[in-house]
Structure 1
Amino acid sequence: MNHPTAVPDCGCPDRAPVAATRRGVLRGAALAGATMAFGSTIVTMDSRREADAATPARSVVVLLSLRGAADGLSLVVPYREAAYYAARPGIAVPVGSLLATDATFGLHPALAPMLPLWNAGKLAAIHATGLPVANRSHFSAMEEIEDADPGTAARVGWLNRLVGSTTSDSTLEALAVGNGLPASLLGPEPAMSFRTLETATIGGADKWDPNGTRMRSLSTLWRGSPSPMGRAARTALDAVVDLGPAKAQADHVASYPNSDLGKALSAVARTLRADLGVSAVTVDSGNWDMHVGLGKPVAGQWMHRNATDLASGIAAFFADLGAMADRVTLVTLSEFGRRVQENGTGGLDHGWGNVMFAAGAGVKGGRYYGRWPGLQNTVDADVPVTTDFRSVLAEVVRTRTSASVASVFPGFAPESLGFMTSL
C-alpha cells in the first residue's frame, strides 16, 4: 500500500517481492482449489464447498501488518536504557515527549490518538517479540510469519488454518483489504480480497449493464456445472453478492486519516458492521523500511507520519465499529524489527525483535507485556526475541475464537502472556 507521502524504497535486494504480484497471488491461491478474479476482487475457495448463508461471527481477528519492518524501539521506547539514547543520537525519542510511561517503556508521541484505548484498558503492547531465529530478509521473514508453521512445504497461512478450525460456514469468513491476497490467507478455505468495497464487483460492470445482465449470465453459465470450477464459480459469485449489505453501511471514511490504511480500515469497519460472518481480516500498513531518513520525532518526519497514520487509523476504526467493537480484536505484526544503533544516513538497518500491539475485545490493556532483555550499543546489536510472535497470536486465538491452537500453529507450544481475557 502506498504511504500518504511518497518515500523511496530502501533498495534492499529482497524488497521488491514484498508486495505479491497478481500472478503470484493467483498461482499461490490455486492450492485452494480455484481462484476467480472479478475486477479488483480476488476470491479463492475450496472447490468442494458450496456457498452458505452468512452467519454472524462470534468474534473477529484483524491482523494489521506493518510491512517493511517497523522499528519497535521508536514505537515503544525503553527510555530507561542508556544504550538506547547512546545508540541513537539523531533519532531517539526524548523522554519528555513519551506517552503512557511506566518504569520501563513509553509510547511514541505520534501514537497519541490511541491513548483513549490505552487508558480504557483496550490497548496493550508486547515487546521483544518476533521469529525464534533471526531472518533479515523481508520476503522470507514475511513468508515465515504468515505461514507460522516452520519446516512445512505447504503454502497455507495461519489465518486460513484459523478459519478452517472454526465452526462457521459463512462464505465471507476470511477477508483481505488491499492489493492482493497475503500468504496468511492462502490455503484450502475460502477467502476474498478487494482493494475497495465499491470496486468489489464483477469485472466489466458499468453503465452499459445497469440491470446486472453479466451477473445473471455468469450465474446461468455455472449454475448446472458439477465440475470443481463450477462449484468454485458459484461460491465466488455468491460472495460478491453478499457484500451488498456492507456497501449499504454508512461510510465514515472522513473520520479516518486520508491514507491507504485509513481507507482500508474504513472498508473493513463497514463490512464488519454488516455482520456478514467475517471472522478473519488482514490489512496492510506501510512502508516502514526506514534505512534512511527516519527522522526526529516531530511532525512531518517519516516515523512520525507512519505512527500518526497507524494510531489515527486504529482509533477511528474502533470508534467506527460501534457495538461491533465488542467482538473485534486487532493485532499488529511486522516481519522483524530494526537494529538498536542508527546508521550513517539517519535510519536503521534490519534487526530482529520488535513490538506487537493488541487492541479491542478481550485485551487487558493499559500495560506493557513481555520479558524485556535489555539493549546493547554495538553496530550489530539487535533487540533479542524473548517471546515467539506465535505466542501472541495464539493467545488471541485461544481466548477469542473456537479454533484449536494446535491446528492453527502446528507443533508449537505457546506460552501464556496474560494480555487477553477469554470470551
Structure 2
Amino acid sequence: MTTDTQHLGSPDLPGSPGPDSRPCGYPEGVALPGLATSRRGLLRGAALGGLSLSVGGAVVSQAPIAAAAETSAIVVVSLRGGSDGLSMVVPHGDQAYYDARPNTGVAADRLLMKDAMFGFHPSMSALQGLWDAGSLAAVHAAGLPVANRSHFSAMEEIEDADPGSAARVGWLNRLLGTDALTSPLQGLSVGGRPLAMVGPEPTMTVGDVNGVKVSGASSLSNSDPRFGSLRQAWKGSVPGRAAMRDGMSAALTAASDFQAVKDVSTTATFPNSSLGRALAIVSRTVRADVGSSVFTVDSGNWDMHTDIGSSSSGWMVNNARDLAASIAAFFTDLGDAASRVTLVTISEFGRRVAENANRGFDHGWGNVMLVAGAGVRGGQYHGSWPGLATGVNADLSVTTDYRSVLAEVVAARTAASTATVFPGFRRESVGVMTGQ
C-alpha cells in the first residue's frame, strides 16, 4: 500500500499513520486520515477529499467549491523554484529593466500582448488566443507582504496563507472545509500533496488515472470478488470503529467513482511534459464530472540562478513555452467545460531586478500572477506598478498581496467565505475577476 507524500519536503501532519498502519483493503493511492480526526473529517477525507494523481514532477490538487457554485473549478498552478516574473511579463515601459539586464533583457519589439508598460515573453505565443478573447489577465508586482527569500519558508507561508497561526493548515484545506459533503472527489492531488492541501480535511493520492487500485483486485467494481468482498465487509457493523468503517466505505466508493476519468480522452495536443500531462488529467477529471472542483498543479524547476538563456532559447524560453502551451491546450481540451474553470498561477517569490554575473537572477520578492478562464477580466494587466531600481540588491516591490488575487478568485467562483479561507486578511480590490 502507498501513503500520501508531501511535495518539496513539506512534512505530513503529526499523527498521520505510516505505511504499517494502513488497514487491509484500503485502496492504493488513498491517504488514510489520522485516527484522531473527527468522524466527519475522516469521511470527508476518505470519500472526497484529497485524491492525488502523480504525473512526473507535476502535482494536481483539488479542494471543494460551495454548493452555490459546485460545478465551478479552480486550478492553481504553482511555479516551483521562484519564477522570474520580470522575464515572463516584461515591464518594457520601465527603462530600469533594461539598465539592470543588459544581457538578459527581452527587447520590447519582440514582446507579445503589449500595452504601454508590459508585454509577454515571445515564447508564450500560445496564450495569444486566450488574451484576445478576454480570458487571460496578468497581475504584476504581486506576492507576500514581506519579502521571504527561502524557498521552503516562502512556499509554506504562501500555501498556509495564515501568518502567525500555529495551526498547520493550508488555504485549500480550509476551502475544502467550507462545504458540506457533496462529492467523494472534491479534493484531488496529482503527485505529492502540497502544503496548501494539508490540514484536518484529509486527501487522497494516486500515481495517475490508473493509480487508484485495491491489491488483488483487477477492477474497482463489485464484479471483482476482491473489491466486492471489501465493499461488503466495510459496509457492515464494526463495533467501536464506526468512523473507520464509514471512512473505508467512502474511500472505496471514491476509488470506484474516479474510474470514470479513464473513459474521458483528450482532444487537444498537450506538451509531452510533466505539466502538460498533469493538466491533461485535470481536463479529463473536470469533463468526467466526478465532483472535483479545485485543483493545484505544481510545475518546476524555475530556480534560474544561472544561464537563464536568451530571449529565443534556453531555460526561460523552454519553461515559459511549456507553461503557455500547456495552459492553452488545457482550455482547448476543456471545450464547453471551460466556461466553469478558472486557472491562476503562483510562485513562492520572484527574482532580483538585476542579472548576476552568471546571467541568472537571485531570489527576489514581487512577481507576476496569471489568471485565465471563467470570470476573468482579461486582455489587460492589473495591479499597481511600483517602478524598478537597478542596484544589485534591487527588488520588484510588492504592491498587491497575493491573497487578494486568490481571494478574488475564491469570491467570484465559490460561495465560500474568504474570511474563513484567509483568516485575518482583508482583501483589496484587484479587479481581475468580474463582479469583484
Normalising by structure 1, we get a TM-score of 0.87
Which runs of structure 2 are paired with 1:303-314 in the superposition (5 Å)?
Answer: 303-314=316-327
Corresponding residue for residue 237 of structure 1 = 252
Shift of 1:18: 6.0
Q: Residue 247 of structure 1: which of 262, 283, 294 is its match?
A: 262
Which runs of structure 2 are paired with 1:59-74 in the superposition (5 Å)?
Answer: 59-74=72-87
1:293–1:346 contact (8 Å) kept in structure 2? yes
Shift of 1:194: 2.6
Q: Which amino acid aligns with 2:326?
A: G
Which runs of structure 2 are paired with 1:200-239 in the superposition (5 Å)?
Answer: 200-203=212-215, 205=217, 212-223=224-235, 224-225=237-238, 226-239=241-254
How far does the alpha carbon of each residue in 1:153-174 deviate from its partner, in whole angstroms, 9 at most, with x for none? 1111111111222355212111
Corresponding residue for residue 198 of structure 1 = 210
* Unmatched 5+ stretches in structure 1: 1-16
Q: Which amino acid aligns with 2:284?
A: R
Which runs of structure 2 are paired with 1:349-388 in the superposition (5 Å)?
Answer: 349-388=362-401
Corresponding residue for residue 293 of structure 1 = 307
Identity %: 52
- Measure the CA separation in 2 of the matches of 1:86 and 1:127: 20
Which runs of structure 2 are paired with 1:330-341 in the superposition (5 Å)?
Answer: 330-341=343-354
Shift of 1:205: 4.8
Q: Residue 127 of structure 1: which of 140, 144, 148 is its match?
A: 140
- Measure the CA separation in 2 of the matches of 1:29 and 1:315: 38
How far does the alpha carbon of each residue in 1:166-202 deviate from its partner, in whole angstroms, 9 at most, with x for none? 355212111111x211111112224333331122323
2:140–2:368 contact (8 Å) kept in structure 1? yes
Secondary structure of 1:165's counterpart equals coil
Corresponding residue for residue 284 of structure 1 = 298
Q: Which amino acid aligns with 1:368?
A: Y
1:47–1:229 contact (8 Å) kept in structure 2? no
Change in Cα spacing, 1:103 to 1:148, as seen in structure 2 (3 Å) is: same
Shift of 1:40: 4.2
Secondary structure of 2:354's counterpart equals coil
Corresponding residue for residue 161 of structure 1 = 174
Q: Which moved further from structure 2: 187-196 or 281-290?
A: 187-196
Secondary structure of 1:191's counterpart equals coil
- Measure the CA separation in 2 of the matches of 1:109 and 1:291: 21
* Unmatched 5+ stretches in structure 2: 1-5, 49-63
Corresponding residue for residue 411 of structure 1 = 424
Aligned residues: 398
How far does the alpha carbon of each residue in 1:52-110 deviate from its partner, in whole angstroms, 9 at most, with x for none? 79999321111100000100000000001111111112211111110011011000011
1:371–1:386 contact (8 Å) kept in structure 2? yes
Corresponding residue for residue 14 of structure 1 = none
Secondary structure of 1:19's counterpart equals helix
Shift of 1:27: 4.8
- Measure the CA separation in 1 of the matches of 2:145 and 2:105: 27
1:291–1:347 contact (8 Å) kept in structure 2? yes
- Measure the CA separation in 2 of the matches of 1:356 and 1:398: 17
Secondary structure of 2:201's counterpart equals coil
Q: Which amino acid aligns with 1:19?
A: L
Normalising by structure 2, we get a TM-score of 0.85
- Measure the CA separation in 2 of the matches of 1:354 and 1:218: 49
Shift of 1:20: 3.0
Q: Which amino acid aligns with 2:287?
A: R
Q: Which amino acid aligns with 1:265?
A: L
- Measure the CA separation in 1 of the matches of 2:152 and 2:118: 30
Secondary structure of 2:115's counterpart equals coil
Which runs of structure 2 are paired with 1:27-46 in the superposition (5 Å)?
Answer: 27=14, 38-42=27-31, 44=33
Shift of 1:230: 2.8
Q: Which moved further from structure 2: 327-336 or 78-87?
A: 78-87
Corresponding residue for residue 183 of structure 1 = 195
Q: Which amino acid aligns with 2:39?
A: R
1:18–1:139 contact (8 Å) kept in structure 2? no
Q: Which amino acid aligns with 1:307?
A: A
Shift of 1:271: 0.6
Corresponding residue for residue 8 of structure 2 = 19
Secondary structure of 2:348's counterpart equals coil
- Measure the CA separation in 1 of the matches of 2:401 and 2:310: 30
Shift of 1:203: 4.7
Q: Which amino acid aligns with 1:109?
A: P
1:389 aligns with 2:378: no
Corresponding residue for residue 271 of structure 2 = 257
RMSD: 2.6
1:61–1:329 contact (8 Å) kept in structure 2? yes
1:100 aligns with 2:113: yes
1:48 aligns with 2:39: yes
